[in-house]
Amino acid sequence: MKQSFKIYITGILGFALSLVACMGFMTASVPVTQTVPADKIPVIVIDAGHGGFDGGAEAADGTQEKDINLAIAEKLAAEAEKYQVEIIMTRDGDYGLYGADSVEKKRDDLTARKKIMEESGAELVVSIHLNSYPQDTSVYGAQVFYAEGEQAGTDVHTAREIAEIVQNALETSLPDGRERVAMKKNDVLLMKNPPCRFILVECGFLSCPGEAELLKTAEYQGKTAAAVWKGINEILCLPVKNQLPVTDSANK
Ligand SMILES: [Zn+2]
């Protein structure tokens, strides 16, 4: 009883402290400038879904999900790299993570991605995908999913909380008149017992012609990536990189 109360109080304190730190970050007129010790820089894995032989979903004009996933993942990495964080990409080109002689390419690919995640020591995995629902091509909009497992309790903020904040950030930045809720997902291999908090962002529907056109543009890809990062860093509150300490000359 006492032990659980202590954990509860520690959790409340941790949450309050991180909230104060985060609010300070959001309201400060200049970015937070403290330097995180090199060995404490958090790792985030960014996973561009599919690749190589596996194109993922396909738009009516033949545009493949794998290419847009990579474009958004690279833009997300570029946003994140302005901050004190180490980014590991599961792929940075059009290839899958399987050997040339692989007989089960999809399985080998997913196993290799999972290994990267497990060995990375990451705080968070962000997997980028696109949806498709050819039965009704009017269905559109971004939706965030999260994995729930033992890792969920290892930090003050769970994958669910991060997913909900990212979902809100997407809705604010990409107003499309649609309100979705972040949902739990555990029917894909990567999201079963992940080594850390894991969110999967379905950035839109390639089956919807209007949304597919948007998703193909660098501008929309960039807006999506910026919104995902904004949501993530509302929780992680990472300070910006290479920022010189700000000296207030009025106090001299
Ligand atoms: Zn996909």
How remote is the CA of residue 52 from the centroid of ligand 1, in Å? 13
Taking the centre of ligand 1 as the mean of its atom positions, its distance from the CA of residue 201, in whole angstroms, is: 10
**What pLDDT, on the 0 to 100 scale, is given for residue 176?**
72
| Residue 203 CA, ligand 1 centroid: distance in Å | 10
User: How far apart are the CA of 48 and the centre of ligand 1, in A?
Assistant: 9
**Is residue 248 in some structural domain?**
no
Query: How many A from CA of 169 to the centre of ligand 1?
Result: 21
Q: What confidence tens digit (pLDDT) does each residue in 70-105 have? A: 999 999 999 999 999 999 999 999 999 999 999 999
**Exposed, middle or buried: residue 72 (CB in 10 Å: 0-12, 13-18, 19+)?**
buried
Structural domain containing residue 47: 31-242
* Residues 76-103 as b or e (16 or more Cβ within 10 Å = b): bbebbeebbbbbbbbbeeeebbbeeeee
Q: Are 180 and 143 in contact (CB under 8 A)?
A: yes
Residue 179 CA to ligand 1 centre (angstroms): 21
In terms of domains, do 117 and 21 share one?
no
- The pTM score is 0.83
- Give the tens place of pLDDT for each residue, 1-33: 444 444 444 444 444 444 444 444 444 444 455
Does some domain include residue 249?
Answer: no
In this prediction, what percent of the chain has a pLDDT beyond 70?
Answer: 78
Residue whose token pair is 């904040």: 165
Q: How far is the CA of 69 from the centre of ligand 1 (A)?
A: 8
- What domain count does the chain have? 2
Query: Do 36 and 26 fall into the same domain?
Result: no
Cα(59) to ligand 1 centroid in Å equals: 12
Q: What is the pLDDT of residues 131-140, one digit of tens each?
A: 999 999 999 9
State whether 56 and 8 are in the same domain.
Answer: no
Residues 23 and 88 in one domain: no
Please report whether residue 64 resides in a domain. Answer: yes
Domain annotation covers residue 252: no
What pLDDT sits at residue 242?
72
CA angle 86, 110, 91 (to 5 degrees): 40
